[in-house]
Homo-oligomer: A and B are copies of this chain.
Amino acid sequence: MSSIRFDAVSKSFGAGQVKALDDVDLAIADKEFLAIVGPSGCGKTTCLRLAAGFEFPTSGRVLVGNAEVREPGPDRAVVFQQFALFPWKTVVENIELGLRNRNMPREERRIRVMEAVELIGLNGYEGAYPHQLSGGMQQRVAIARAYVLDPQVLLMDEPFGALDAQTRVVMQEELVRLARRNPRTVLFITHGVEEAVYLADRVAIMTRRPGRLKEIVDVKSIREAEGWERYSRIEDVMDLESFVHLRTHIWRSLREEKTGAAH
């Protein structure tokens, strides 16, 4: 059991001047893929950091599994927007750090890491340093670093935000493949509405700051009903009317949020 639950969570920064989250209630089921979209600064990253244990709620509770989150840990692997690979470690060293921290024996570790390298298609790059890889390759290493821990929960904060459009598409397709082969509970933050609809089972829309939940859109039922899985290419899915419809719905909902902003 590895659900995530936000229980009436509020979060303020800097002696209460900045209220980032206001009374958020949200439950992500075991093995569910939930994406959060919302205006910039609405508190998406804050949600993720609460679940990761980098921050703690001002009031309310965040539960993973059935335990309250008290510190970061390898049961909740994070994939950061800027990859956050250690530049001084090779691909293999980056991936195996978490396993070393668990004191896994060298031989077993090697096997696990090689499996992961295989999975992300980086054979031949085991000894490369991050700066020798393209952005897409780096992000694949970051994902492998998270996956290899076999975590209950994956937390991804705009993992493809730093990639160029074409690479991003490839990564999105790969993530879908991975998620189907090996499903996890995922909390996924993004600005891309298309991305959210393409990847997630449900999409949560947040209001402007202080962030509240505005609406949760169920994608899974439509995806299954319309058989999106038939298409392996994102642009084919994106041409489907059911997809366009969902996307436009979420867009509209977000635009309402936007008009009030001082942008």
- Chain A contacts to B: CB under 8 angstroms: 39-40, 134, 136-137, 164-167, 169-170, 191-193, 233, 235, 238-239, 244, 248, 251-252, 254-255, 257-258, 261-263
Residues of B within 8 A of A239 (CB): 244, 248
In the complex, what distance in Å separates the CA atom of A257 from the CA atom of B233? 15
User: Among the listed B40, B134, B257, which residue makes an inter-chain contact with A164, where contact means beta carbons less than 8 Å apart?
Assistant: B40
Contacting pair B235 A166 (CB below 8 A): no
Contacting pair A191 B164 (CB below 8 A): yes
- Closest chain-B Cβ to A182's Cβ sits at a distance in Å of 22
Max chain B Cβ within 10 angstroms of own Cβ: one of A134, A136, A235, A248: A235
A140: nearest residue on chain B (CB-CB)?
B263
- Closest chain-B Cβ to A170's Cβ sits at a distance in Å of 6
Question: Given A191-B164, A239-B244 in contact, is the A170-B258 Cβ separation under 8 Å?
Answer: yes
Contacting pair B191 A165 (CB below 8 A): yes
Q: What 4 pairs between A and B have smallest CB-CB spacing? A: A165-B191, A40-B164, A136-B263, A235-B251
In the complex, what distance in Å separates the CA atom of A40 from the CA atom of B191? 21
Question: Given A235-B252, A258-B170 in contact, is the A165-B192 Cβ separation under 8 Å?
Answer: yes
In the complex, what distance in Å separates the CA atom of A134 from the CA atom of B261? 11
Residues of B within 8 A of A251 (CB): 235
Question: Given A244-B239, A251-B235 in contact, is the A137-B167 Cβ separation under 8 Å?
Answer: no
Residues of B within 8 A of A165 (CB): 191-193
In the complex, what distance in Å separates the CA atom of A137 from the CA atom of B261? 12
Max chain B Cβ within 10 angstroms of own Cβ: one of A164, A166, A167, A262: A166
Known: A137-B263, A167-B258, A167-B263; 18 extra A-B contacts, CB below 8 A, are: A39-B164, A40-B164, A134-B263, A136-B263, A137-B262, A164-B191, A165-B191, A166-B191, A166-B255, A166-B257, A166-B258, A169-B255, A169-B258, A233-B255, A235-B248, A235-B255, A239-B244, A244-B244
9 contacts between A and B (CB under 8 A): A39-B166, A134-B263, A137-B262, A164-B191, A165-B193, A166-B257, A235-B251, A235-B252, A244-B244
In the complex, what distance in Å separates the CA atom of A37 from the CA atom of B166? 11
In the complex, what distance in Å separates the CA atom of A255 from the CA atom of B166? 7
Contacting pair B263 A170 (CB below 8 A): yes
Question: Given A136-B263, A235-B255, A263-B134 in contact, is the A40-B167 Cβ separation under 8 Å?
Answer: yes
A245: nearest residue on chain B (CB-CB)?
B239
Contacting pair B254 A166 (CB below 8 A): yes
